[in-house]
Amino acid sequence: MREVKVICNLICVRINVKWEAPTQSFESGLKRLALVALWDYSWLLCITFPGLEIIELTQTPSMTFLPFVSKLRRLRSLNCDIKQEETVLEMNHNFHQLERLVLHADIVMPLCNPGAYGLAKPAFSSISTLELWLDNLSIVSFTRLIRGRCLPRGHPWSLLPKETSQITTFRLYWKDYPGNQVEQVVWSSELLALARREQDRIEAYDGTYIRLKLEWMKEPVTVPDYTNWLSDIYMSTAKFYKP
């Protein structure tokens, strides 16, 4: 536990060890934290992270995890296995400062249709980078997300509200196999003709994925690049963790 006071980046992988609460709390200078297949987060509650900015979590947030992340006032990038709209709405209350969000399902409507959820403004209204790992995709939510968060203000099709950040970097991931439903929906959208596109393939522990980066911008915008440290986390930890 003492080492957390001095390290800056930490990847934690599932181990068969029973954690016991320490007799004193610690303050850590950690900036980036990846949690891989860990189900017991109780030890995190014994550490304060005043400078933690990036979290990668490979499973669905638990009731223990949410109290932990709600205290992270400098958190800028969050990747969890979020697959329920209820979780999106609950986490939205604590993360108004987020710049990057990663979701693992087509649950984007709270981000672009706030009125349907009783919100005064779109969920996670400050993010400029959104990444979606998808098994399926609705053309309705895809179109609404692009118009409501990705197209710049002033564009005739833009529905971007005032005091809401434009998503200037939008990445989609889907399994690489013929006839994938997500791929069919994505390329059927006429809005892609307006975007700058970059596509490649990446290897994850469960197979090959297509990665498509989309940008709709009037002028160049500088945003933090969170991919350098994060892009290989799932792949690098595959040797330790097989689902």
Q: Which residue has the tokens 């986390």?
A: 233
3-state secondary structure of 180: coil
Please give the Cα distance from 91 to 6 (Å, whole number).
29
- Tell whether the model's pLDDT for residue 211 goes beyond 50: yes
Give domain limits for the chain. 62-73+85-236
Please give the Cα distance from 190 to 229 (Å, whole number).
33
Mean pLDDT of the chain: 81
pLDDT 10s digits, 161-194: 998 999 999 999 999 999 999 999 999 999 998 8
pLDDT 10s digits, 81-134: 878 888 888 888 877 789 999 998 899 999 999 999 999 999 999 999 999 999
The answer to whether residues 27 and 50 touch, using CB atoms and an 8 Å cutoff, is yes
E strands along the chain, which residues? Answer: 9-13, 26-27, 32-36, 47-48, 54-57, 77-79, 100-103, 129-134, 169-175, 196-204, 207-215
